[in-house]
A and B are shown apart, each in its own frame.
Chain A
Amino acid sequence: DAGVIQSPRHEVTEMGQEVTLRCKPISGHDYLFWYRQTMMRGLELLIYFNNNVPIDDSGMPEDRFSAKMPNASFSTLKIQPSEPRDSAVYFCASSLGQRGTGELFFGEGSRLTVL
């Protein structure tokens, strides 16, 4: 079975541009998470969904960040406009929630560089 699939793997953009990161969770998983990883702050939970519904977006830094999950097999994280401080690795993860073991399955991450 395929794992969590993220794209793009690397993204370099200029300040002010729109960035869209994509994620396909593991089939059958009902939770989806977006994390951001930086050296300074470590792993930060940005937002998570349960059955496609956003449950907690308190980790989203500001209004420039938005996330959607239009169906069970796809989610996007959008940054508009992007800023250099948004440079980080963004991870998507999925899990089986209460029916599972608590384990999160992570994608390979999208490394974003904003110049």
Chain B
Amino acid sequence: AQTVTQSQPEMSVQEAETVTLSCTYDTSESDYYLFWYKQPPSRQMILVIRQEAYKQQNATENRFSVNFQKAAKSFSLKISDSQLGDAAMYFCAYLNYGGSQGNLIFGKGTKLSVKP
């Protein structure tokens, strides 16, 4: 069974600095998706970034980028130029390619605080 582990329950970053959130996963599959979701205090989960396992190039969305290391089964999220609005819970998630949507597996989350 696949698992997703986020080893940092809480992280803190100074405004305008860079922070990296860690995520590791375990799977025997070769084709899958990985996601980072953001959950602000308003509670609604929002997709931040998505990576297909067959793509070697790391995904980037503005200030958000990932470091995808397939062999190491690592998928970290880097937030550059952190802003106060980045403060939220961040969840890493895994989905088998072609698998049932119900197989989206979430990590426990990392709470990110941004200091002004």
Contact = CB atoms under 8 A, between A and B. Distances in A.
A103 B50 contact: yes
Contact of A95 (B46, B101, B109): B101
A102 B50 contact: yes
Interface string A35-66: 00000001101001010000110000000000
Nearest to A89: B43
A71 interface: no
B37 to A, nearest CB: 8
Task: Determine the main DSSP class of A at the interface with B.
Answer: strand
A2 B101 CA distance: 21
Interface residues of B, number: 20
B95 A33 contact: no
A43 B91 contact: yes
A95 B104 CA distance: 11
A108 B33 contact: no
A97 B101 contact: yes
30 contacts: A31-B101, A31-B102, A33-B101, A42-B106, A42-B108, A43-B91, A43-B109, A48-B101, A48-B102, A50-B101, A55-B100, A56-B100, A89-B43, A91-B45, A95-B101, A97-B101, A101-B33, A101-B50, A102-B33, A102-B35, A102-B50, A102-B95, A102-B101, A104-B47, A104-B101, A104-B104, A106-B44, A108-B42, A108-B43, A109-B43
Interface of B: 33, 35, 42-47, 50, 91, 95, 98, 100-102, 104, 106-109
Interface of A: 31, 33, 42-43, 45, 48, 50, 55-56, 89, 91, 93, 95, 97-98, 101-104, 106-109, 111
